[in-house]
Amino acid sequence: MNETDETEEEGVSNFVRDVVRGDFSSGKTKSVVTRFPPEPNGYLHIGHAKSICLNFGIAAEFGGRCHLRFDDTNPTNEEIEYIEAIKKDVTWLGFDWGEHLYFASDNFDKLYGFAVNLIEQEKAYVCDLCPDEMREFRGTLTKPGKDSPRRNSPVDGNLDLFARMKAGEFEDGKYVLRAKIDMASGNMNMRDPVLYRILNASHPRTGDAWHIYPTYDFAHGQSDAIEGITHSICTLEFTDHRPLYDWCIENLPVPSEPHQYEFARLNLTYAVLSKRKLMQLVSENLVNGWDDPRMPTISGLRRRGIPPEAIRDFATRIGVTKSDSTVEVELLNHCVREYLNKIAQRRLGVLRPLKVVIENYPEGQTEEVGAINNPENEASGRRMVPFSKVLYIEQNDFMEDPPKKYYRLTPGKEVRFRYAYFITCQEAIKDVAGNVIELRCTYDPETKGGNSPDGRKIKGTIHWVSAEHAIDADINMYEHLFDHPNPGVEGDLIDDINPNSLTTLTGCKLEPSLANSVVGEAVQFERNGYFAVDPSSTPDHLIYNQTMAMRDSWAKIQAKDMSAGK
């Protein structure tokens, strides 16, 4: 992060920071080392962004370092594609692991040695129970488990079997290595948990070198210890796994003794933050890939045009607690709007064009009017926009028979065209079906710049684009992917998918300055919202994604009047 971002973090307190401060004050910790440990079995989502910001933020605040470590212990679900995507996402969010990029697979030899050590201490054994028997022997929350018949088998026999498992002599599932802890423990995770299982699968990094792989519970804590992690920060579902984490650390000759801390994961309305469920959406072609802008993945948010600064701000605002809760997606939207309002260049873009002919404007004349690039930043300056006889406005900026407080274009009523002139509609031209397809208007040439020399007041201001100079674009408009705030809570997740989550508008008209738009660059189409060029866009076929809608002032007035019974 840059200096500004770090300054914004100062003074922000949560229980994890309080723990770290306490460790510094007591002398327990001299240098903070955290880690972000994703499994490379899918793309990261905004819930991971919360963890990334927390781990890298704490390390930066206390002058330490944060590792990026891939817990790649399940080769059947892992791909190089996911590894590269995760690295790209962390970098895009503004964080740098420097030289501290690690993989659990880097430690396979050491982890195997640790497992052998446990066998030699008679604290681990090879078990041949099948999965159904394993469940039966494990017991229940109210009934203690039963010892495996092999629980007290000789050390030499266990060492031999474990070596043969490693050599690939057995089929998947034939044996597992289990820790010997306590089959009567009230914590099910301590009832002789599995440490290694046979998987005759090729690994993305180690190839076919291994036929056994450590479980996450075994690899995680030992990798933390090998890397010298001081504060292992996990989500709440790992709370019940902490005793096993500590047991392994206590019973193995590890080089350091990290401690695990748990915080509440992010739950967000109108979204699912589960890799399994996101994978389902992708695999069943219910979205257009992991980076579909409707997805809560970091790559999807990036493609939609949401800036990393807004995500970091969101992560700071929601805080870090030990209690599960659900955050309203509107808070994320607020962070996005607040940031983009400061930096996005303003441009004129008409999404659903309606033709306007200014009958008293000189034929063949074109002039330029000055337009503000960003009213929040004077240094952004002004630009010139062409104005001519034939223009486009939004279809919903005209009504023949408008309701009260409709301050847009209507027959006989004067409205201000942004940066240009006062315009009055004289006639609406319709097609055979009765649809308005063109407006015939007049303008007041004394009102250039949007002001009248006689001081008359105009309430309505609408945007426009010169037809002769407009460039065409397709624009993807988005709603929530799900139309239920808690998708799947009342049945099948798929039933809650919003059929209107994506609408593609073709033939949109944009001011000519947008011809050279850069992919991902934030822009505000005045009165329509924030947009970003899609990576699939070309100079000959511009495609924009809606990042965030503007709040519709007239819709808010209508809603207020309805609630007041007017």
What's the pLDDT tens digit per position in 445-488?
Answer: 999 998 888 888 899 999 999 999 999 999 999 999 999 999 99
* Whole-angstrom distance, CA of residue 398 vs CA of residue 116: 78
Q: In which band, very low, low, confident or very high, does the pLDDT at 325 lie, cut at 50, 70 and 90?
A: confident
Pairing of strands 349-350, 345-347: unpaired
With 80 as the cut, is the pLDDT of residue 430 above it? yes
Q: Is there a catalytic annotation at residue 389?
A: no
With 50 as the cut, is the pLDDT of residue 11 above it? no
Residue among 35, 191, 197, 275 flagged as catalytic: 275
In the sheet that holds 353-358, the strands lie side by side as 461-462, 414-417, 422-430, 436-444, 353-358, 390-394, 465-466
* Whole-angstrom distance, CA of residue 81 vs CA of residue 273: 20
User: From the CB of residue 229, how many other CB atoms can be counted at a distance below 10 Å?
Assistant: 24
pLDDT value of position 12: 55
Q: In which band, very low, low, confident or very high, does the pLDDT at 560 lie, cut at 50, 70 and 90?
A: low
* Structure tokens given for 206: 């180690």
* Whole-angstrom distance, CA of residue 462 vs CA of residue 188: 64
Quick one: what percent of the chain has pLDDT higher than 70?
Answer: 95
Q: Is there a catalytic annotation at residue 10?
A: no
Average pLDDT, the chain: 94
Residue among 8, 39, 133, 479 flagged as catalytic: 39
With 80 as the cut, is the pLDDT of residue 258 above it? yes
Residue at token pair 């069943």 = 284
* Element at 367 (helix H, strand E): strand 366-372
Domains and CATH numbers, the chain: 3-106+218-335 (3.40.50.620), 109-215 (3.90.800.10), 349-470 (2.40.240.10)
Q: How many residues does the chain have?
A: 566
With 70 as the cut, is the pLDDT of residue 62 above it? yes
Least confident of 5-19, 71-85, 411-425, 429-443: 5-19
Q: In which band, very low, low, confident or very high, does the pLDDT at 1 lie, cut at 50, 70 and 90?
A: very low
pLDDT value of position 559: 55
Tens digits of residue pLDDT in 108-151? 999 999 999 999 999 999 999 999 999 999 999 999 999 999 99
User: From the CB of residue 503, how many other CB atoms can be counted at a distance below 10 Å?
Assistant: 11
pLDDT value of position 555: 46
* Whole-angstrom distance, CA of residue 240 vs CA of residue 232: 15
Residue among 110, 123, 205, 265 flagged as catalytic: 265
Q: Is there a catalytic annotation at residue 146?
A: no
* Whole-angstrom distance, CA of residue 38 vs CA of residue 50: 13
* Structure tokens given for 511: 């001011």
With 50 as the cut, is the pLDDT of residue 9 above it? no
Residue pair 327/318 in contact (Cβ under 8 Å)? The answer is: yes
* Structure tokens given for 530: 């924030």
